[in-house]
Amino acid sequence: MRISIVDDRLEDRNALQRELDSALREKGYSVETIDLYSSGEEFLSGFKKGKYDLIFFDIYMDGINGIEAAAEVRKEDKFVRLIFVTTSNDFAAESYSLRADYYLLKPFVHEDILKALSIINLEDYERQRVIVLPDKSTCLLHDIIYSEYYNHRIVLYLKSNRKKKIRTSQADIERILCKNDGFVTCTKGIIVNLEYVQRFEDGTIFLADGLQVPVSRRRTAEIRKAHADYLFRQVRL
């Protein structure tokens, strides 16, 4: 989960980060990053499509306010989840037009943040997340069963016995996939999605759609534990 908080008040940024981190752990989400920004300008200067899964915008900021910053985000990314943070509901109509998912009032209350996370249903969002591959093509993250590197190419083995081939390095595909919960390198050149692991047997991982990949003896115990931990997190969601 990649999250950003955009608020020009330091104490509010830090307070929301603490409460959000606690709420996400409570709900069993895996958090890659919570980035903090002090202005709309600072945030937009480095924003690109697919960079974040969830963005919190304070509405009342000097310069580019939260509504204006969110409008710029929507021009690039129609799917990222947006939550507006404010001291009043004066901009409720504007936030609705930008397809905001929730309106969080200050001061922050832990129960309200839990409610926001439940309403935006992040587990469903994760299943629909589109990733941008090194060749600039896109793919649904949830569709990937495993990837294999061979001869300067990556083959993505997808659901329903589909394949996608791209020319890139193993390092690049690891950087894209392994930062997401459930993706691990099981042996040199192969990354598996733990969601589709069915069983382990004699140095082989059996996956969905009749697929199977080797796993090194050295890494078998580690991958088994990663799989068990992943299943436990899914039960908690």
Rounded CA separation 101/224 (Å): 37
Read off φ and ψ for residue 150, nearest 5 degrees. Answer: -155, 125
Report pLDDT for 89: 63
- Whether cis (ω within 30° of 0) applies to the bond prior to 134 is no
Which of the residues in the chain have pLDDT under 50?
237
Rounded CA separation 54/4 (Å): 7
2-126: CATH, from 3.40.50.2300, 3.40.47.10, 3.40.50.720, 3.20.19.10 = 3.40.50.2300
Nearest CA to 19 among 121, 110, 118, 114?
A: 110
Report pLDDT for 123: 63
Report pLDDT for 90: 63
Considering the chain, tell me which residue range(s) the CATH 3.40.50.2300 domain(s) occupy: 2-126
Report pLDDT for 20: 93
The gap between the terminal CA atoms of the chain, to the nearest Å, is 14
User: To which CATH superfamily is domain 131-236 assigned?
Assistant: LytTr DNA-binding domain (2.40.50.1020)
For residue 200, the cross-strand partners are 205
Single-letter amino acid, residue 234:
Q
Report pLDDT for 94: 57
Nearest CA to 77 among 38, 126, 130?
A: 130
